[in-house]
C-alpha cells in the first residue's frame, strides 16, 4: 500500500532508497570443533544470513529532531519493526544509505527497555558507532543521534533482559537532518495501519474542573470498553485535536486493573501518557498537553480475576490554549527594526504580572517542554514580560507561555515575525583635516548620511560604492569633534560615529 508522505512546517519529507540488483550474499565459515562455541558468534552468523541489509530502510528527512516527533505523531511510516523472543538474541540487520553527511536521529519504540539498538559502519557488525541505545515507550523522550558521513550503515536490536516467555517488539523510526539543509522527498511509504480506531468526541472545557462538572451533569462518555482477559487490550479509539491544548482524562471503572494508555500513532507504539482506571471521581482529572493532531487510546488489562470482565468508561475534556493565551497582533515599528507582539490572555488566571508571568523564547517549543523550567529559563527574568506586549528584534518563530501559578495547566502559543530589517551599520569617517571644509567617509551604498560639526548638522547620500562627501561652512579646527550616523529608507538609524580632527 502506498500513500503520499506527510509534510509539516518543519520541512519533513519521506525517503525510501532501495538498491536494485542482486542481493548481497554472505558466506560465514566458522571452523570450531568445540560444542561450546560462543552464543554471540552463532547469532551474528545467523543475523548475517537472514539479513534484510541488501535493502536500505526508509527514513524521513527532517530539519531538526522535533521534525521526527511530528512525523511519528502524524502516523508517519516506521523504518523497521522487529520482534525478539529470547534473551541475548538479535534482530535482523537493517541497512541505511546516506547520500550526504548529516545527523541521524533514531527512535526505537517499545513497551519495554529490555531491547538495545546498535549502529555499525560495516556489514560485519564489528565497527560499532557510539554506545548501545535503548528502546523507550514514547517519542517525547530524547532521541539517539549520530553525526555521520555519507555512506552505508547497519543497525540491529538485541534483547538483554525480560521474562523468558514474552516476545518483545520494537518499532524503529529514523530521521535524517542533512548538513546541507536540503530536504528530499519520495512518494513511497509503508502502511502503518494495524487496527481500526473509532473516532470519539471530546467536549471543550474552560478549566480542569470543567470535566468533572461535565461528568456530574450526565455528560456523554467518550467511550466504554470491556476487557475479559489479563494481558488483552481494548478496542482502539481515535481523538482528533485541531489546536494545541490540555486533554483532561478521567477513566472510571470498578477496578484499577486496567491501564489507560494514550498514543501519538496508530501503530500504538509511541505512548505519551498512561494512568490506572479510577474507582471513584478524582479531586482533579489527569491531564496531558497536546499539539494539534490525531491521537489514539485504549485500555490494557494487567491483572484481575480470570473469570471477571472489567469495563472502563472514559470521559474526556479539552481546554484549548486560546482559553489562556493567544496572539492579538504583530506590528512592525515605523523603521521596521522591531515588532511589537500583543497577547490576549486570561486575566483571571494570570492575575497580575507579579503573581505569574508570560515568557517568550525563540523557536517553536515542543509540547513535551511546556513545563520544562530550563527551556523557559524560570530561574531568571530573562524571558519574562512585564506586560502583555513583547518587543521582538529579529525575524523568526517564537513561543510564548503563560504561567498563572494557580495551576500548572499553562498555555503555550507559537507565532512568526517577518519583515524586520536591521538598522544600518555606523558610517566611517576617513578624511577630516584641520583648516579644510571637507569631510569624507564610507558606508553602505545609498544610505542617507548625517554629519554634525560645530553645532550644525549636514546631510548627504552615499553613492553606489558607499562613498560620501560633505562640505561644512566653517574650517575644521584641531581637536574638534565630528559625529555621524546613517539612516536607511525605512528611517532606521545607525549608531553614532565620533571622530576627532587631528592637529
Domains belonging to the chain, first-starting first, are 13-178 (2.60.120.680), 198-322 (2.60.120.380), 324-417 (2.60.40), 428-500 (2.60.40.10)
Q: Which three cell numbers stand for residue 444?
A: 553602505
Q: What SS3 class is residue 489? A: coil
Average confidence (pLDDT) over 210-225: 96
pLDDT digits (tens, 9 = 90+) for 307-341: 999 999 999 999 999 999 999 999 999 999 999 99
Chain centroid offset of residue 361 CA: 14
Q: What SS3 class is residue 82? A: strand
- Please say if the pLDDT value at position 186 is more than 70: no
pTM: 0.73
Average confidence (pLDDT) over 339-363: 94
pLDDT-above-90 percentage for the chain = 77
Q: What is the DSSP string of 260-321?
A: EEEESSTTS--EEEEEE-BSS--SS-EEEEE-SEEEEEEEEE--S-TT--EEEEEEEEEEEG
pLDDT-above-70 percentage for the chain = 87
Q: How far apart are CA 102 and CA 168, in angstroms?
A: 31
Which H helix or E strand runs over 456?
strand 456-461
pLDDT digits (tens, 9 = 90+) for 76-131: 889 999 999 999 999 999 999 999 999 999 999 998 999 999 999 998 999 999 99
* DSSP class of 367: G
- Please say if the pLDDT value at position 4 is more than 70: no
CB environment 43-58: b (16+ within 10 A), e (fewer): bbeebbeebebbbbbb
pLDDT digits (tens, 9 = 90+) for 15-52: 333 333 323 222 322 333 333 333 344 444 444 444 45
CB environment 97-136: b (16+ within 10 A), e (fewer): bbeeebbbbbbbbbbbebbbbbbbbebebeeebeeebbbb
pLDDT score of 339: 97
pLDDT score of 74: 83
Q: Which three cell numbers stand for residue 486?
A: 546613517
Average confidence (pLDDT) over 173-187: 84
Most confident of 6-10, 63-67, 317-321, 349-353: 317-321
Q: How far apart are CA 228 and CA 215, in angstroms?
A: 26
Q: Which three cell numbers stand for residue 388?
A: 502583555
pLDDT score of 70: 87
- Please say if the pLDDT value at position 53 is more than 80: no
- Please say if the pLDDT value at position 251 is more than 90: yes
Q: How far apart are CA 196 and CA 194, in angstroms?
A: 7
Q: What SS3 class is residue 156? A: strand
What integer best gives the mean pLDDT of the chain? 87
Q: What band does 54 get if pLDDT is binned at 50, 70 and 90?
A: low
pLDDT score of 316: 98
Q: What band does 195 get if pLDDT is binned at 50, 70 and 90?
A: low
For residue 212, how many other CB atoms are within 10 A of its CB? 21
Average confidence (pLDDT) over 260-265: 94
Average confidence (pLDDT) over 206-226: 95
Average confidence (pLDDT) over 222-226: 97
Amino acid at each position: 500500500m502506498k500513500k503520499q508522505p506527510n509534510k509539516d512546517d518543519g520541512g519533513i519529507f519521506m525517503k525510501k532508497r532501495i538498491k536494485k540488483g542482486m542481493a548481497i550474499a554472505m558466506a560465514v565459515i566458522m571452523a570450531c570443533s568445540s560444542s561450546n562455541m560462543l552464543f554471540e558468534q552463532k547469532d551474528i552468523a545467523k543475523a548475517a544470513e537472514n539479513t534484510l541489509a541488501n535493502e536500505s530502510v526508509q527514513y524521513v528527512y527532517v530539519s531538526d529532531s522535533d521534525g521526527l516527533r511530528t512525523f511519528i505523531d502524524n502516523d508517519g511510516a516506521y523504518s523497521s519493526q522487529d520482534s525478539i523472543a529470547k534473551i541475548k538474541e538479535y534482530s535482523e540487520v537493517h541497512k541505511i544509505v546516506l547520500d550526504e553527511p548529516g545527523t541521524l536521529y533514531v527512535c526505537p519504540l517499545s513497551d519495554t527497555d529490555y531491547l538495545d539498538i546498535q549502529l555499525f559502519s560495516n556489514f560485519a557488525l564489528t565497527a560499532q558507532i557510539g554506545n548501545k541505545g535503548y528502546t523507550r515507550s514514547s517519542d517525547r523522550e530524547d532521541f539517539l543521534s549520530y553525526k555521520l558521513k555519507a555512506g552505508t550503515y547497519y543497525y540491529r536490536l538485541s534483547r538483554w533482559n525480560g521474562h523468558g516467555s514474552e516476545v518483545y517488539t520494537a518499532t524503529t523510526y529514523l530521521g535524517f537532518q542533512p548538513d546541507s539543509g536540503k530536504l528530499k522527498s519520495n512518494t513511497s511509504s509503508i502502511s502503518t495501519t494495524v487496527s481500526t480506531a473509532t473516532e470519539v468526541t471530546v467536549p471543550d472545557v474552560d478549566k480542569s474542573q470543567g470535566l468533572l462538572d461535565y461528568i456530574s451533569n450526565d455528560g456523554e462518555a467518550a467511550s466504554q470498553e470491556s476487557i475479559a482477559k489479563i494481558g488483552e487490550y481494548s478496542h482502539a479509539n481515535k481523538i482528533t485535536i485541531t489546536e494545541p491544548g490540555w486533554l483532561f482524562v478521567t477513566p472510571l471503572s470498578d477496578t484499577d486493573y486496567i491501564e489507560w494508555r494514550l498514543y501519538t500513532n496508530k501503530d500504538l507504539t509511541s505512548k505519551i501518557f498512561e494512568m490506572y482506571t479510577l474507582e471513584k471521581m478524582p479531586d482533579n482529572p489527569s491531564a496531558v498537553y497536546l499539539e494539534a493532531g490525531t491521537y489514539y487510546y485504549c485500555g490494557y488489562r494487567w491483572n484481575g480475576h480470570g473469570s471477571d470482565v472489567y469495563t472502563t468508561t472514559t470521559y474526556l475534556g479539552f481546554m484549548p490554549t486560546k482559553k489562556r493565551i493567544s496572539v492579538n497582533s504583530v506590528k512592525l515599528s515605523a523603521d521596521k527594526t522591531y515588532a511589537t507582539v500583543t497577547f490576549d490572555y486570561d486575566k483571571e488566571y494570570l492575575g497580575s504580572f507579579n503573581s505569574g508571568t508570560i515568557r517568550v523564547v525563540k523557536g517553536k517549543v515542543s509540547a513535551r517542554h511546556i513545563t520544562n523550567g530550563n527551556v523557559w529559563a524560570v530561574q531568571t527574568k530573562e524571558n519574562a514580560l512585564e506586560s502583555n506586549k513583547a518587543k521582538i528584534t529579529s525575524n523568526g518563530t517564537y513561543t510564548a507561555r503563560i504561567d498563572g501559578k494557580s495551576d500548572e495547566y499553562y498555555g503555550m502559543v507559537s507565532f512568526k515575525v517577518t519583515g524586520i530589517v536591521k538598522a544600518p551599520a555606523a558610517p566611517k569617517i576617513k578624511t577630516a583635516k584641520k583648516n579644510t571644509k571637507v569631510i569624507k567617509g564610507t558606508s553602505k551604498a545609498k544610505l542617507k548620511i548625517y554629519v554634525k560639526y560645530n553645532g550644525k548638522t549636514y546631510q548627504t547620500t552615499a553613492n553606489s560604492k558607499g562613498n560620501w562627501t560633505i562640505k561644512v561652512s566653517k574650517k575644521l579646527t584641531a581637536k574638534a569633534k565630528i559625529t555621524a550616523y546613517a539612516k536607511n529608507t525605512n528611517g532606521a538609524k545607525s549608531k553614532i560615529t565620533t571622530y576627532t580632527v587631528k592637529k
